[in-house]
Structure 1
C-alpha cells in the first residue's frame, strides 16, 4: 500500500493519497507567519486505520519546514499537538492559552 501526503497550495490543503486515491485532506489558511489548520477529514472508507495521524503529522512537518507556526483550529490537529509535546513549539506563545495548550 503506497501512502503519500502532498501539499496542494492551489487548494490550500494537504491531501493524503492511498494507492494513488485521495483518502482525506487537511485544509489550511496562511496568515503571515502562521498557518491556521482549520479542518481535517478522512473519507469514510479510510477511517479507523491511522491515516488521520499520518496526514496531520505530515502537514505539521511540512508546515514547520515552510517556516510557519500553526494555529490548531481543527480538533484533530489540536489533539495531535496536545498529545505530542514536540509539536507544541509550532504554536505561538500568544495562541497557546487561547487553545488551552501548555505554555
Structure 2
C-alpha cells in the first residue's frame, strides 16, 4: 500500500452514507448504509480510483464502526465484502457485528 491519505470522514444521514473528503476538498470515497433502530447495514464501500491503495476504505470503515460503537445501541451488518474482510482483520470490532460473538479471551 502507498502512503496513507489524510481524509475527514463525516456521516450524512440524509444521504445514508459516510463520506471521506481529502484535505483539498476532493471526495475520496464513501460507505452507503441503511439503518434501523437495531442495526446499521454497511452496503457498499466506494473509493475513487485515484485514491485506491491509500487507506481511504479502511478509514471509512473504521470511522463508521467507531461511530456505531460510540452510539452503543445498534449492531452492524457488513454486507459489503470490503467491510466484512476489514472487520475480520480487526477482531476488536467483531462484537459490533450482528449475530457474532466476541472473540474468546486467552
Q: TM-score, normalization: structure 2?
A: 0.83
Residues 1:15 and 2:19 are matched in the alignment: yes
Moved over 6 A (4+): none
Unaligned runs of 5+ in 2: none
Which residue among 66, 80, 84 is the counterpart of 1:74?
A: 80
What is the aligned length? 97
Q: Which has the higher helix share?
A: 1
**Structure 2 CA distance, aligned partners of 1:57 and 1:66?**
14
Q: TM-score, normalization: structure 1?
A: 0.85
C-alpha RMSD over aligned residues: 1.9
**Structure 2 CA distance, aligned partners of 1:30 and 1:73?**
13
SS of alignment partner, residue 27 of structure 2? strand
SS of alignment partner, residue 54 of structure 1? helix
Unaligned runs of 5+ in 1: 97-101
**Structure 2 CA distance, aligned partners of 1:45 and 1:2?**
14
**Structure 2 CA distance, aligned partners of 1:65 and 1:12?**
18
Matches within 5 A, 1:38-57: 38-57=43-62
Following superposition, the deviation at residue 92 of structure 1 comes to 2.2
Residues 1:85 and 2:102 are matched in the alignment: no
SS of alignment partner, residue 33 of structure 2? strand
Match of 1:63 in 2: 68
Evaluate the alpha carbon distance shift between residue 70 and residue 45 of structure 1 in structure 2; reply closer, same or farther with a 3 A threshold.
Answer: same
